[in-house]
């Protein structure tokens, strides 16, 4: 027969088993669920952003504004001379 002197008393072992589900639930609620929520939010944000036009303001060698616009839905690039032209394009881009 094996020597069980190193084993926990039955009462102590029973307490450990009873507390384990609480630790699992606590880990699930405090670590796993928030992490999954962050991952979900990251994917959602990336998918929404990937459909939005990308607009950059740059200046030519003479210091004039140049608005570069990329439409990820159509894959087309546009250049405008003013912010107003960009706004008009944004308002009308899918109505043609």
The pLDDT value recorded for residue 57 is: 95
Same domain, 42 and 61: no
CA dist 70 and 53 (Å) reads 6
Supply the pTM of this predicted model: 0.49
Question: Is 2 domain-assigned?
Answer: no
**How many structural domains comprise the chain?**
2
Question: Is 87 domain-assigned?
Answer: yes
Q: How confident is the model at residue 93 (pLDDT cuts 50, 70, 90)?
A: confident
Residue 17 lies in domain: 9-50
CA dist 48 and 52 (Å) reads 7
Same domain, 64 and 37: no
Same domain, 44 and 59: no
Burial (CB < 10 A; 0-12, 13-18, 19+), residue 78, is: middle
Strand order in the sheet with 54-59: 54-59, 65-71, 76-80
Same domain, 36 and 59: no
Q: Which of 1-10, 39-48, 53-62 has the highest mean pLDDT?
A: 53-62
Question: Is 1 domain-assigned?
Answer: no
């Amino acid at each position: 027969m094996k020597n069980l002197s190193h084993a926990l008393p039955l009462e102590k072992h029973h307490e450990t088993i009873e507390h384990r589900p609480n630790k699992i639930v606590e880990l699930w609620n405090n670590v796993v669920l928030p992490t999954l929520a962050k991952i979900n939010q990251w994917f959602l944000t990336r998918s929404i952003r990937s459909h939005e036009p990308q607009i950059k303001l740059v200046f030519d060698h003479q210091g004039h504004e140049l608005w570069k616009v990329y439409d990820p839905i159509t894959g087309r690039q546009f250049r405008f001379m003013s912010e107003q032209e960009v706004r008009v394009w944004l308002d009308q881009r899918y109505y043609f």
